[in-house]
């Protein structure tokens, strides 16, 4: 009951319920387009490389997160989100004109815009949620938010693939456009008071101020650093997936089973992350998630089906704990006026290493067996977890010492 009650409070909260519904709708459309865009390019050109560029176009804007996130602090967040949802819906409808390889420039341009809007929206939503949802429910809300997005990653691609097969890529783009219109309408119903943004001190100065706040904060810096390291090592591990499946004696299609199991773990983790955050605190929850991920990654070196499935489930459980702990801490420890740019900066530092890890891992897996690479990745993750846990212990000890000193100085 102690776990479910806060989740019920989140769902009963009007603003939280509206936002989660909006997120569910838009995440469904995004996940559908994510798969269909690559298939669309592959069908028109026959090129695997060009198909892969679809994901690059959507991820590339994240590297400019600190600067893009500043936009979310210069205007009121709710009108910004509504305008971006409607603008992106209009841009998606232009994809009805893409019928040949010559028109693919438009698809890539829309995907690049899509990724840019996603970075700004993530920053604006984080700040808007921090203002609209009670502070004691932020951890539970962020867990549910992750459950929704991960759940859509499991379900929506199947819908997108079916719609693409029946009616083509333009139909999937139309579906996605419709979800953004609905999301804009739900966002318009949010009841939140937003103060007029402070007068701008200059884009560059505001961006630098956000980066300095994040990296100079004694509680946020170790969390973000550990999360970025974990995502780097996790992406290195992910590049071994096909090699792991090959060692198990299965066809490449078996990777779909592993990803589905991992998705189920992520959905489950999102439901309990809020309660775990209250019990353990941010640093310890993050350290526990990293440690679980370490053992799961190392265990994938064993060529047994049961171990591979259990490892996928454990990875799905572990990473959401880390992300919920990190981004909830950012929301709680950052002043509202700069929360957009700080969230975007954290997103770049945490998720940006994915691109590095995928590129580096693709080369390493050609040179060495997963039986060698995965235990090394697991060991590095375990050291990351131990370092973060040790820092949390030192902080607790310092806090207790300060409390005792205060009580000694002011005896009752």
3-state helix, strand, coil in the chain (%, to 5): 90, 0, 10
pLDDT-derived band at 374 (thresholds 50, 70, 90) equals very high
Q: What is the DSSP letter of 133?
A: S
Identical fold, 11-193 and 200-392: yes
What percentage of the chain has pLDDT greater than the value 70?
A: 90
Each residue's pLDDT tens digit, 232-252: 999 888 888 878 888 888 876
**For position 331, what pLDDT does the model report?**
85
Is the pLDDT reported for residue 362 higher than 80? no
pTM of the model: 0.76
Distance CA 185, CA 189 (A): 7
Rounded distance between C-alpha atoms, residue 146 and residue 386, angstroms: 25
Any residues with CB less than 8 A from the CB of 372 and at least 6 apart, and which? 301
> Which CATH homologous superfamily contains domain 200-392?
MFS general substrate transporter like domains (1.20.1250.20)
Q: Tell me yes or no: is domain 11-193 CATH 1.20.1250.20.
A: yes
> Which pair of structure tokens corresponds to residue 271?
């439901």
What average pLDDT does this structure show over 107-126? 89
Domain ranges of the chain: 11-193, 200-392
The pLDDT tens digits of the residues spanning 135-157 come to: 777 788 888 888 888 777 777 76
For the record, the structure tokens of 72 come out as 């979310």
Find the Cα–Cα–Cα–Cα dihedral 78, 176, 344, 111, rounded to 10°: -130
339 closest CA partner among 61, 122, 126, 76: 126
């Amino acid at each position: 009951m102690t776990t479910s009650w806060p989740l019920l409070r989140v769902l009963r909260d009007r603003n939280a319920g509206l936002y989660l519904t909006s997120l569910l709708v838009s995440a469904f459309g995004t996940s559908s387009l994510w798969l269909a865009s690559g298939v669309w390019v592959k069908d028109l050109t026959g090129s695997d490389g060009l198909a892969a560029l679809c994901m690059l176009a959507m991820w590339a804007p994240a590297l400019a997160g600190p600067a893009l996130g500043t936009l979310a602090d210069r205007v009121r967040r709710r009108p910004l989100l509504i305008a971006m949802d409607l603008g992106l819906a209009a841009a998606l409808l232009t994809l009805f004109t893409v019928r040949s390889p010559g028109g693919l420039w438009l698809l890539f341009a829309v995907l690049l815009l899509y990724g840019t809007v996603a970075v700004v929206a993530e920053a604006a939503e984080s700040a808007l949620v921090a203002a609209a949802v009670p502070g004691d429910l932020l951890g539970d809300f962020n867990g549910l938010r992750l459950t929704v997005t991960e759940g859509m990653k499991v379900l929506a691609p199947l819908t997108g693939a079916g719609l693409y097969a029946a009616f083509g890529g333009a139909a999937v783009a139309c579906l996605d456009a419709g979800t953004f219109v609905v999301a804009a309408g739900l966002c318009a119903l949010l009841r939140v008071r937003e103060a007029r943004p402070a007068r701008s001190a200059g884009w560059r100065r505001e961006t630098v101020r956000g980066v300095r706040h994040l990296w100079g904060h004694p509680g946020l810096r170790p969390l973000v650093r550990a999360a970025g390291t974990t995502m780097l090592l996790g992406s290195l591990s992910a590049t071994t997936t096909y090699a792991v499946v090959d060692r198990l004696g299965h066809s490449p299609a078996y990777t779909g089973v592993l990803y589905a199991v991992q998705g189920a773990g992520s959905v489950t983790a999102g439901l309990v992350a809020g309660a775990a955050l209250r019990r353990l605190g941010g640093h310890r929850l993050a350290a526990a998630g990293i440690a679980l991920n370490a053992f799961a990654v190392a265990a994938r070196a064993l060529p047994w089906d049961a171990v591979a499935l259990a490892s996928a489930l454990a990875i799905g459980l572990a990473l959401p704990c880390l992300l919920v702990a990190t981004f909830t801490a950012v929301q709680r420890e950052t002043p509202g006026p700069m929360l957009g740019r700080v969230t975007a900066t954290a997103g770049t530092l945490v998720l940006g290493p994915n691109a590095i890890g995928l590129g580096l891992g693709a080369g390493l897996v050609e040179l060495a067996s997963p039986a060698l690479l995965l235990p090394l990745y697991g060991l590095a993750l375990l050291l990351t977890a131990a370092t973060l846990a040790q820092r949390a212990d030192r902080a607790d000890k310092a806090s207790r010492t300060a409390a005792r000193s205060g009580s000694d100085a002011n005896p009752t």
